[in-house]
Structures are given as C-alpha cells and as structure tokens.
C-alpha cells in the first residue's frame, strides 16, 4: 500500500479546520486532523513543505517507522506545530490501515474495553442562574457529566462563556480579543457557582470545572480545598504546567481530582506529573500529542500510576480527531472520560461521521477506519478565515495566562 499523494485541506464551516488526506496506490485514502487553533497555517506549511515530500512512495502500513522518521528524523523535536503535523499523518495512516483490514480502528488497537465512552458536555452561563439552567439542559440531553463555567461578575471576557453568540468559540477575531483576569473575584465566585449547581441538581451528576491556567500553585490549592464539598470529577489546568513540579504543592493540599494536558504534545510534558502521581487525569489528545501512536505511550505510562485519560475535545478539534479519539477511548484500558463539545451542523456536514451519542455515552461506530470523512466540495465552499485566541491581562495591564 504505497503512498501516492497527500494534500492539506483547509476549511472554515464556522471555524477553521486543517485536514491531511493521504492517498495510496490501492485507490484508498485516510484522513487526519491537523488543526492548531489560531496557528492553522503554521501546521499546514510544515506539512506541505517538510512532511508531505517525505511521505510519497513510502509503505502506508509502516506507521511506526514513519512516526519515528518524522519525530527523530527531523532533529528539531517536539512542539505543538511539529507534533500536530505528525499526529495528522499518524491518524491518516491508522485510518488507512483499518480500512485495509476492513475493521473499525478500535479493533486494531485491541478491541473494545467498554460498551460506550462516557463524555462530558459544556454548560456555560452569563451568570449563576443561567449556568444552573444550562446544566439542566445537559441533564435532559442525557449527559452524566457536565463542565460548568460562568461569567465572573465585573470581569471582562471570563473564560468559557460566549459573548452573545450561539455556542462558545473563543477564537473570535483576526487579532486577539483582550480579556481581563481577576484572581480574587474568581476565587470568591467559583464556590458560589458550585453551591448553586449542587443545590439545584443534586449529588449524582458528575461536575467538572476548567481553571484554564489562571492561578498560582497556592491559589490553586486554596480553590481545590474550597471545592472539596462539591465533589468535582476534576479541576482542570489549575496552574500552568510548564513546571510540572508546581503540582506538588497543589497536591499536598487538596483531594479535589486534578486534570491537565490539553496543550501537551509529548510524553515528556507529563512524565513528572504522572510518575509522581500529581494528577488524576491526563488530557493529551490525538491531534496535539503526536497521534494514536504517541498517545498510547502516554496512556500506558499513566496506567502504571493509576492516572486515567480525559482527552480534550473542544470544537477546535475537528470531527476527524473526535472520531479517532473515540476509537482510542473505547479501547484504552485506563479510560476516564472524553470531552465532547458539540460541533455545529455546518461542521458536521463537512465531516460526515459514524460516531453517535446516546444517554451520555458515545460510540465510534463500526465503519472500517476511524469512521470520519471529509466532503471536499462542501469544504471548498468555506474558505479560511484567520482567527486567533484571546489574551488575558490583569487589571493593571500585566499580561497573564489566557
């Protein structure tokens, strides 16, 4: 099964997606997600100029060797752009191999370890009451687990909350929208939000919350403690994780479970976090962490330390990543939960897929491959629209972590 061609397809059905399509001499093709929110063209250029010329003529079955060639062979290792490009190749090759075998991808990984993949949705509110109502809407849709975010009073552009449009999509303008961050206002507000949600919806529903890298370790420890009575499923990205040792301090002070990893691209980003059992869930994804080939190494390391997976699944990860992630999730022994932020109808139309949602669980389907396709004619009708993620500043103007 020789690779005869590879192309990058960029489309914007409401938001930007980058897809790699690899074709073979068998008349088959595989696709992989290559979307890096706000930095799409960097990955596209890396693929077009530096990766695709290396693929032509290779045996598409040699997934591991191609992965090693692109990783070791590049000399300049790791980083989000490189690892997203490698992930796109890897995902497309797994898609091809599974199609060649006539099997859904999860069967090649080792078969199903469970009947369905528990997912969590996003309930966002402009205030506490609307967040509580939004949780109710997700409960009615069947979700067993729900992430809750609400606008902090007096704080411009709180993370995770839409600003008057349908659906939350943070990359909303060509140049970054400037938000303001106030740690004192947030630390005062967050426990009140979860008081109200637990009071309205009871003890059974699983609740999650994303701090989005905003706190220092000691502030994160304080929030974790304050939220212990609300029994969160996890507190996410409570402090930046470039310094993995920072989590030692958080861990010493709270039993609230911790999740980290949506911006990680390598096993080395989380080695200390996992080996010292500083986290409970690792959120690395197929698209940003080197594809299925690398993510399964991360998951295997995590399994040794009872750390479970909780892959990122925001709308900037395309349905192609979602499909591949669901195959991974159905197999991976130490699965925890999968994020599922629903795509728009326009996006789903460009990416027809076999995966389904029912009663809080998803299934990748039984279509050979990862079960996600791209309608190229429709994709071509949605040209690229440059958008970047917001930035955050403190009240005095100091740049902060968005």
37 binds ligand EZ4 per the rule CB under 6 A:
yes
134 binds ligand EZ4 per the rule CB under 6 A:
no
In the complex, least distance from residue 339 CB atom to Co ion, rounded to whole angstroms: 8
The entry of ligand EZ4, Co ion, none that residue 170 binds, CB within 5 to 8 Å by partner kind:
ligand EZ4
* Tokens 């809080």, residue located: 360
Q: Are strands 178-181 and 391-394 parallel, antiparallel or unpaired?
A: parallel
Question: Helix or strand or coil: residue 236?
Answer: strand
What is the phi/psi pair of residue 218, to 5°?
Answer: -70, -35
Q: Are strands 361-363 and 117-125 parallel, antiparallel or unpaired?
A: antiparallel
| Dihedral sign for Cα atoms in the order 70, 71, 72, 75 | positive
Residues acting as catalytic residues: 159, 212
Longest Cα–Cα distance in the chain: 61
The entry of ligand EZ4, Co ion, none that residue 224 binds, CB within 5 to 8 Å by partner kind:
none
336 binds ligand EZ4 per the rule CB under 6 A:
no
In the complex, least distance from residue 103 CB atom to Co ion, rounded to whole angstroms: 32
In the complex, least distance from residue 345 CB atom to Co ion, rounded to whole angstroms: 24
Mark 233-272 with x for binding to Co ion (rule: CB under 5 A) and - for no binding. -----------------------------x----------
The entry of Co ion, ligand EZ4, none that residue 314 binds, CB within 5 to 8 Å by partner kind:
ligand EZ4
Nearer to ligand EZ4, 63 or 286 (CB): 286
Residue from 33, 210, 269, 329 that binds Co ion (CB under 5 A)?
A: 210
Token readout for 273 is 């976090």
Q: Which of 183, 189, 193, 186 is nearest to 134 (CA)?
A: 193
Q: Whole-angstrom distance between the N-terminal and C-terminal Cα of the chain? A: 44
169 binds Co ion per the rule CB under 5 A:
no
The entry of ligand EZ4, Co ion, none that residue 316 binds, CB within 5 to 8 Å by partner kind:
ligand EZ4
Residue from 41, 314, 349, 391 that binds ligand EZ4 (CB under 6 A)?
A: 314
CA pair distance 402, 395, nearest whole angstrom: 14
What kind and span of H or E run contains 224?
Answer: helix 217-226
């Amino acid at each position: 099964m020789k690779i005869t061609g590879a192309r990058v397809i960029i489309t914007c059905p409401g938001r930007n997606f980058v897809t790699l399509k690899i074709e073979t001499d068998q008349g088959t093709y595989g696709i992989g997600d290559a979307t890096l929110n706000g930095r799409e063209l960097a990955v596209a250029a890396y693929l077009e100029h530096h990766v695709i010329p290396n693929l032509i003529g290779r045996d598409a079955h040699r997934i591991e060797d191609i992965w090693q060639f692109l990783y070791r062979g590049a000399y300049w290792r790791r980083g989000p752009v490189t690892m997203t490009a490698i992930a796109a190749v890897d995902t497309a090759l797994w898609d091809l191999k599974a199609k060649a075998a006539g099997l859904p991808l999860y069967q090649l990984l080792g078969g199903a370890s469970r009947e369905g993949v528990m997912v969590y949705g996003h309930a966002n509110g402009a205030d506490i009451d609307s967040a509580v109502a939004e949780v109710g809407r997700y409960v009615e849709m069947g979700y067993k687990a729900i992430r809750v975010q609400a606008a902090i009073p007096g704080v411009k552009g709180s993370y995770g909350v839409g600003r008057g449009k349908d659906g939350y999509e943070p990359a909303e303008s060509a140049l970054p929208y400037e938000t303001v961050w106030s740690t004192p206002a947030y630390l005062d507000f967050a426990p009140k939000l979860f008081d109200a949600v637990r009071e309205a919806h009871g003890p059974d529903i699983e609740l999650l919350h994303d701090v989005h890298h905003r706190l220092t370790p000691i502030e994160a420890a304080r929030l974790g403690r304050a939220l212990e009575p609300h029994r969160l499923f996890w507190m996410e990205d409570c402090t930046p994780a470039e310094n993995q040792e920072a989590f030692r301090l958080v861990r010493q002070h709270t039993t609230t479970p911790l999740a980290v990893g949506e911006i990680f691209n390598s096993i080395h980003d989380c080695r200390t976090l996992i080996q010292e059992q500083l986290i409970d869930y690792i959120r690395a994804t197929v698209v940003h962490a080197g594809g299925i080939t690398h993510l399964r190494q991360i998951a295997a390391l995590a399994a040794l330390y009872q750390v479970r997976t909780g892959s990122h699944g925001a709308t900037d990860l395309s349905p192609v990543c979602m499909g591949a992630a669901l195959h991974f999730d159905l197999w991976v022994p130490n699965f925890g939960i999968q994020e599922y932020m629903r795509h728009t109808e326009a996006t789903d139309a460009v990416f027809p897929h076999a995966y389904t949602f029912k009663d809080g669980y998803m299934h990748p389907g039984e279509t050979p491959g990862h079960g996600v396709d791209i309608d190229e004619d429709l994709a071509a009708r949605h040209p690229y629209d440059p958008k970047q993620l917001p930035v955050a500043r403190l009240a005095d103007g100091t740049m902060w972590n968005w």
